Structure 1
Amino acid sequence: MSKRRSGQARRQSQIAVGSAVLSALIAGGIAVPAAADPPVGSKITAIPDAGLRPQADGLPTLPFGSLSQPRTLPQTAQAALQAQYTAAELELSVLGARRSELYQAYTNAVVAKAMADYAWRATADTLRAAKEAAEAAAVAEYQAAVKAPPRLGDSLGELGQLIPRTESTPETEAVLADLGTAQHEERQAYTVLTSAISAEQQSSTAYSAVEKEFKRKEIAFLELKRRLAELQSEADRVRERQEQNLGNYSPGKSNAGLVAAAKAQKAVLFALSQRGKPYRWGDEGPNTYDCSGLMLASYKAAGITLNRVAKDQYYGTRNKSVSKYALLPGDLVFFATDPSDWRTIHHVGMYLGDGKMVHAPRTGDVVRPASVSLSSIDFATRVVDAVAAPNQPSPTKSPTPSPTKTTSPSPTATTSPSSSSSPSAAPASSSPPPPKPAESPSPEPPAAESPKPTPTPTPTPAPAPAA
């Protein structure tokens, strides 16, 4: 009995030790090889070393690619260069718009400094005149004080004649007041001039930095353009020549029952007449243009004055916004980095119709027509209100053939009874009894209302039965 109890106690102790070891291994997350298992009943002081865990060397790969990195098709050299060219073109366009803003700010700062300098010089002249008047008044008052007799009751006696009088006249007080006012105005004008000089220096520094960056990126862009031109196919060059040569173009194309106004059509024709002239930033013609300068000159030729910069041209015509799907020739189409913010507009073109526009693209390019996708247009405005399209002459021509068609069946109707009489005569000849054909032509004459069909069939069936 004691041996049985001792055996049960031994087994319980083994189970307890095993469960403790198992709990420790589960908690530690370390798997001990079967060969390293300690003998039952031995005292365990430490967990055996299971070796280093495998280190992750990246995301698991599948036969068709990584889990988080989608499989991409290899790009051709021309496609990769085209992507760089497009990105550089957008960056250069945005930088050019920023350069235009800073140049305008610099010009305004120069004008403000000139006006502040003029105002300060005017106050300085006024102050100089006030000082001269005050000095003259002081000298006159001193001389008058010296010549005046001594005051009664003066304890100094004859020495009082050498001391000038201290009382000032109203004229002297007025001169001194003018001097104080002139000094105050001169200090204020000088403060404004100092601020204007500082603003002009800051705007000049900012513009110079952007101008330097623009020229650097422009050189890189022109190099990309040269390399891309070398890779362009002949089909692309043919398509570009076709876009530039519109032939006999008519700006009177209609959309939704409307056509462009006469002034808008005139602006379109002027813009097209400038094809081939080089792009030059800040120019408004007549030999070179930038994008907004071409729009300005085109509508100026039609008697309408637009703002100078692309975003200002949109802001000035924003009350006449037009849907991209209702564009007419002469409408202005704008492109921005943020389609929800008109202040990010960096390019403008003039719509021609049929998915084309005329614009001055960039440095190194010329004024030319180009295809434009409606999805790429961010804003569109109409400078001059459209007019209703003239009525087409096609509906007036459609009723004229209808009476001719009605008269043409009339002779066929006259021939139809003759044909109907001919088959009536045919069965009369085939059928021996004559009464059936006699009955058949009898109802036909009133339907045709002509006496001619009745005598023609009657003589033909009559000799047939006689034969």
Structure 2
Amino acid sequence: MSKRRSGQARRQSQVAVGSAVLSALIAGGIAVPAAADPPVGSKITAIPDAGLRPQADGLPTLPFGSLSQPRTQPLTAQAALLAQYSAAELELSVLGARRSDLYQAYTNTVVAKAMADYAWRAKADTLRTAKEAAEAAAVAEYQAAVKAPPHLGESLGELGRLIPRTAATPETEAVLHDLATAQQEERQAYTVLTTAITAEQQASTAYSAVEKEFKRKETAFLELKRRLAELQSEADRLREIQEQNLGSAYSPGKSNAGLVAAARAQQAVMFALSQRGKPYRWGDEGPNTYDCSGLMLASYKSAGITLNRVAKDQYYGTRAKTVSKYALLPGDLVFFATDPNDWRTIHHVGMYLGDGKMVHAPRTGDVVRPATVSLSSIDFATRVVDALPAPNLPSPTQTARPSPTRTTSPSPTVGASPSSSSSPSAPASPSPSSSPSPEPDESPEAPAAESPKASPSPSPTPAVTPAG
């Protein structure tokens, strides 16, 4: 309570101080400047100058065009047709949903009409029975009143109406009550049936109109689909021609991960590309028709390497040199399997070309051709011939150039020592022939002539022997 009272006292003191300050200002003659308000009674002779306003000189412009004319990229014929196709597909789907709703409503009205018709027929049968009971009761009552023999009412015919009636009995009243009830229920059931028939006709008319519109839109949509398929097939044909002509300007010496395909792998690639256009035939290995593994077999056979015959056996035979999908080089074998975890389910093989393409013999009715391949679709990949370092760095070439100079400079001393050690006839021949000056000229020529013969002769031998 003390805190609350102290707070109230503080606020009251602040209000009092503020009032005192305001009173002092008013008493001191402090007023609003005269320029803020015009003098009382003065006349306005001119409109105050508000400054210059910007004049519109056209549409506001943006860095890349105006608001009314946005820049658009020109559409190709296929893109424009695809836009029409998408719009027609959306419209047809909406109209199809509307048609389904109307058909369901029409079906419901048909069911409701059938139920109303059944109910009305039941009520009509009840009314018929009530009428027969009422007629029988009236005849019986009349016969009892006039004490006439049975079937008198049937014999009297129209004269029976002239005979005066007596007071109705309770039984007759009950029958008449049932008749009136049956008549009322029959009229109600007939009204329900009439309403159901009208609703069914309206639903049928609405559904028929939407069905007619849907068929018209569907016909136009199918025409767009056909035209789009034609353009797509034409684009595929042009792409196919480009891929078929890949071998004319193709270089299999593409590098990946610092490596380049070996010479014999490149030779296999060029052979496979040279077979493009030849038909697929199961079990054939060329030279006129191929299946997928037969093309791989013939391609590497042209480079002096023998593979297994079937695709899964080709994987099994090269499984020691599996390669990652992201390190593929031209000449690598790519395999496709039913189960990516089981190599025994491999059913197709192709040869990688680089840049996401491969050459293969696809299927019956197709031909040997290059094709685009997705890395995610490849299940297994192997390398037949070991890759080589890519010669794209200048440092190895600089180190290779001084190496032959070092070998050639000591060659005279090295050439003299083996010539003397290997054949004693060589030093004997120059000594009697002439002075020792031609001896160093002939000695370096002999090793120089032998060195190129020795270098190429062993090089092809180790290259052929391990691959074979």
TM above 0.5, yes or no, is no
Greater C-alpha Rg: 2
Shorter-chain TM range is 0.3 to 0.5
